[in-house]
Structure 1
C-alpha cells in the first residue's frame, strides 16, 4: 500500500465518479497543519478539567465494575445475553452510524436505516450524531494537532478518554467552526438529536423543524421552513410522503380543483440555508473568542 500523501486529496469513486463533497471529509490541509504546529510551539495552554464530566465518568466506571462482578457471579443468562446485545447495538451504532455514514459519507442509507442507526447511536451515550461527526471530521482534517479533539500528542489517556473530561482546546473550537456541517444539520432524521428540532432556514427564530410533528400533525413539522417561506403551500421540504396536507392539495391540483400552488425554488432555499451556515460560523467564532 503506498504511503499517504497529505498534499494530495484521497480520491474515492462513487458510481465511477469522485465528488468534491467526498474529498471535503478526507483531505488534510498541509498549510493548516504547518500553521497549527507553529501555534502549538508558541502558545501556552492550560488544561481545564470539567469536574461534572469527571463525576459522571466515575459513576459510569463504578457501575461498570459492579456490573462486571455481577456478570460472572450473580447475573442470570438472560441478563448476560441482554448486555451482549446492547454492547453490539451501541458499538455498531457508532461505527456504522456517525462514523462511516455521517462523518465520512462512505455509504448511503435510506430513511429507515438512518432512523435505526440514530437510535443505536443513542444507546452508546456518546453525544448526538452531529456533534460526534463534527469532532471526528476535525480529527481527520487536523490529525495530531491541537485542533484534533483527541490529539495523541497529549498522551494515550487523553486520546482515549481524557479529552472528554476537560474543556476543548481553543483551536478545536476555532477550526470546528469552519467545517461545513450543513449536510447533517439539514438531515431530517437527526432533528431528534438537536433539541427536538433544528433551524436550517432561519437560525434567528425559535421555530424549529420536527420530523415527529410532521408524522403526527399531517405534515406541519416544517415550522422553521414555514416561518421563512410562509407562502409555500408545502410548508416543509421534509418527508413529502408523510406531508398529508400537501398530498391532499396535490391530489386536488391534479384534477384541477386546486391551482396556483405557490412554492419556493430550490436555488432560493439553498441560498437561504447557506446564509444560516455563515451566521452559525460567525456565532461559533464569537463564542470561541469569549471562551
Structure 2
C-alpha cells in the first residue's frame, strides 16, 4: 500500500499504509502469545520500593499543606514543571520513542529527554521497552502492569514487586535497534541518575529560591515532591483507570477505555481504547487537539519545523473499525 499525505501541521502521513507493517512493530498485540499453564510464580515484594513510594506520598501530602503559604509564582512554576515533566513522558517516551508516531529533530529530542528526566519514570530506553511489551502482550502475564490483576496492581503495585518472568523474557526478545541507535536516548540512559537529581529535584527547588526568594524547604516539597508525585499518578492512571472504566467505541475485544478524567490529568492520554486500537497514531485520539495538550504540543513543534511525519489514521478507517468492533457508543466519537 503506498504512502499518502494530507495537508496539516508537519505534513501528517496518513496511517492506513501502516496496517500492512503491523507485524513488524513491537507495539502491536501478539495474538499468538499464550500464558504458561500451571501455578503462577510467587510474587516477590520489593520492600525498598514500598518504603520509597510510601515516603514519597507522605511527602506529597505534606507538600499539599504547604501550598497555601507558597508564593503565587511558585504555584505557576509548579504547574509549569508538571507540564514539562508530563510532555517528557507523553510526547517523548510514549509517542515518539515507544510508538515512533512522528519524527523529532535533534533539539526537540534533547528537550524531550531533559523533560523525561524531570518526570523520573525510568530512562527512555527502559520506559519504551516496557511500554512496547505492554502493548504487545496487553492484559497477560507478559504485561508489566496487567490490569486484569486489579486496579492497585496496574496503578502502582507492579512497581512494588518483581516483574513476572514473562515480562522479562518478552522484553529481552524485542527488536530495539531504533532506541539503541538514538544517541540522545543512550546518553540519557548513561547519565540518568545525575539528570534526575538535577531536573526532577534540584532545578524545581532552586529556581523559586533564586528568582523570587521562596524557601528551599517549600521549593523541595511543592514544585519538587508534590509535582513529581502528581505526574507519577497521572501516568499510572493510564495503566489503571483507563484500562478499567469508560466506553470502548473502537474495539470491545480489548480492555482499554476512553476515560475523560485520565485524558485531562495525563494531558491527552485518556483516549485509550483508540490508542490501543491504533497505537501508531501520533495524536492518540480521533479528535486531534481536542482535550489533548500533547497533540497540540507536537503540532506546534511541526509548525516550528522541529517535528515531522506525524502518522495518522484516516477517518474512514476509524469509522469502519468502530462499526466493526466498537461498542456502538457515540458520546466520545462525536465529542
Same fold (TM over 0.5): yes
Q: Give the 3 Å change call, closer, same or farther, for CA 173–16 of structure 1 in structure 2.
A: closer
Deviation sequence 1:162-209 (CA, Å, 0-9, x none): 111111000000111110111001101112223249xxxxxxxxxxxx
1:169 is aligned to 164
Deviation sequence 1:193-246 (CA, Å, 0-9, x none): 23249xxxxxxxxxxxxxxxxxxxxxxxxxxxxxxxxxxxxxxxxxxxxxxxxx
Q: Does 1:30 align with 2:31?
A: yes
| Distance (whole Å) between structure 1 residues aligned to residue 50 and residue 15 of structure 2 | 46
Unaligned runs of 5+ in 2: 1-11, 193-335
Q: Give the 3 Å change call, closer, same or farther, for CA 22–116 of structure 1 in structure 2.
A: farther
Deviation sequence 1:260-281 (CA, Å, 0-9, x none): xxxxxxxxxxxxxxxxxxxxxx
1:60 counterpart (29, 46, 56): 56
TM-score, L = length of structure 2: 0.51
2:81 is aligned to 86
TM-score, L = length of structure 1: 0.58
8 A contact 2:144–2:158 mirrored in 1: yes
SS at match of 1:47: coil
1:98 is aligned to 93
2:144 is aligned to 149
| Distance (whole Å) between structure 1 residues aligned to residue 168 and residue 184 of structure 2 | 25
2:179 counterpart (155, 180, 184): 184
Question: What does residue range 211-230 of structure 1 map to in structure 2 within 5 Å?
Answer: none
| Distance (whole Å) between structure 2 residues aligned to residue 120 and residue 107 of structure 1 | 18
Greater CA deviation, 129-138 or 12-21? 12-21
SS at match of 2:70: coil
Unaligned runs of 5+ in 1: 1-11, 198-291
Deviation at 1:22, TM superposition (A): 8.6
Q: Does 1:123 align with 2:124?
A: no
Instruction: Answer 1 or 2: higher relative contact order, Cα 8 Å, separation at least 6.
Output: 2
| Distance (whole Å) between structure 2 residues aligned to residue 31 and residue 16 of structure 1 | 24
Runs of at least 4 residues off by over 6 Å: none
Q: Give the 3 Å change call, closer, same or farther, for CA 15–159 of structure 1 in structure 2.
A: closer
Q: CA RMSD in A?
A: 2.2
8 A contact 1:22–1:105 mirrored in 2: no
Question: What does residue range 11-30 of structure 1 map to in structure 2 within 5 Å?
Answer: 17-18=17-18, 20=21, 23-30=24-31
Deviation at 1:79, TM superposition (A): 1.2
| Distance (whole Å) between structure 1 residues aligned to residue 153 and residue 16 of structure 2 | 40
| Distance (whole Å) between structure 1 residues aligned to residue 29 and residue 23 of structure 2 | 13
Deviation sequence 1:89-143 (CA, Å, 0-9, x none): 1111100001000000111100000000000001111000010001100000000
Report the structure number with the largest CA radius of gyration.
1
8 A contact 2:129–2:171 mirrored in 1: yes
